[in-house]
């Protein structure tokens, strides 16, 4: 009789253990499914972010570079550029208070202008810029870790390159657009794109209202405009801001004429 009681107890114990294991298995599977669902959803959202930002760059084409501008004047400068038809702004990370400025502009001009970071030299700088709200990362050089950081976070990657080998390497490693820097002239871009016409390039440096149409004719998809548009050494006042709007408008008109 005692032996039967022990057998009954063991059977009950195994029954409860099996039951607990079953519930644990079901619960674990649900946790895994939920995790995979949200990770996939996150990935899809990241792809949407990249496509949205990239489409804006490809549509508006002109990327105004803000380097070394006084943080207190940034919003006024951005407004003047916006009034002149500029829709893409790059704030270089070697500018004063670059990260707070990116965050400020991203909030103030949300839905009006696309704000990104320039002079992104390493993965740490890339991560900091993304945390500040940068929608794209632009570099003067090629660093694969910066490209990977951008792609993982769902922001547009625009590394810098100069030679055909560097440009192809940037593209093969996931660059959405390759910044050709420094740009020698429009003929150089034309020669680069003859064998590499499947790669989106953004020539930067030496481009203004007088030659942007020549660069556009090469097949370049975007154009980085720095001191030809925004002069960091100028005194920022109402006259300067009005002139900046006129200059921006002339640049946009020259591209679209």
- Rounded to whole angstroms, how far apart are CA atoms 228 and 205? 8
Q: 28: which 2 tokens?
A: 């674990």
Q: Is 190 a catalytic residue?
A: no
Closest by CA position to 255, among listed 101, 84, 141? 84
- Rounded to whole angstroms, how far apart are CA atoms 181 and 234? 24
User: Which residue shows structure tokens 């996150």?
Assistant: 42
Annotated active-site residue in 61, 103, 151, 179: 179
- Rounded to whole angstroms, how far apart are CA atoms 164 and 161? 8
What percent of the residues of the chain are helix, what percent strand, and what percent coil, each to the nearest 5? 55, 15, 30
* Partners of residue 44 on adjacent β-strands: none
Annotated active-site residue in 90, 103, 151, 247: 90
Closest by CA position to 61, among listed 195, 243, 244, 253? 253
Strand 62-66: give its sheet, edge to edge: 156-158, 136-138, 114-118, 88-92, 62-66, 223-225
Helix (H) or strand (E) holding 140: none
Q: Is 243 a catalytic residue?
A: no
* Residues identified as active-site: 90, 179
């Amino acid at each position: 009789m005692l032996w039967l009681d022990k057998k009954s107890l063991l059977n009950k114990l195994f029954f409860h253990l099996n039951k607990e294991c079953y519930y644990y298995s079901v619960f674990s599977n649900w946790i895994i499914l939920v995790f995979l669902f949200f990770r996939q959803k996150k990935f899809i959202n990241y792809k949407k972010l990249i496509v949205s930002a990239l489409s804006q760059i490809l549509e508006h084409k002109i990327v105004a570079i803000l380097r070394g501008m006084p943080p207190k004047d940034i919003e006024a400068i951005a407004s003047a550029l916006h009034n002149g038809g500029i829709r893409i702004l790059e704030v270089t990370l070697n500018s004063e208070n670059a990260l707070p400025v990116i965050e400020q502009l991203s909030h103030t001009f949300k839905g009006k202008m696309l704000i990104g970071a320039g002079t992104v030299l390493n993965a740490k700088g890339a991560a900091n810029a993304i945390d500040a709200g940068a929608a794209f990362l632009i570099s003067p050089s090629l660093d694969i870790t910066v490209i990977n950081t951008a792609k993982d976070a769902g922001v547009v990657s625009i590394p810098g390159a100069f030679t055909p080998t560097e440009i192809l390497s940037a593209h093969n490693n996931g660059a959405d657009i390759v910044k050709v820097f420094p740009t020698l002239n429009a003929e150089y871009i034309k020669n680069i794109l003859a064998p590499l016409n499947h790669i989106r390039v953004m020539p930067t440096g030496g481009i203004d209202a007088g030659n942007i149409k020549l660069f556009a004719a090469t097949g370049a998809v975007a154009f980085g405009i720095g001191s030809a548009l925004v002069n960091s050494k100028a005194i920022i006042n109402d006259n300067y801001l009005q002139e900046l709007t006129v200059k921006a408008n002339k640049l946009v008109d020259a591209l679209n004429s």
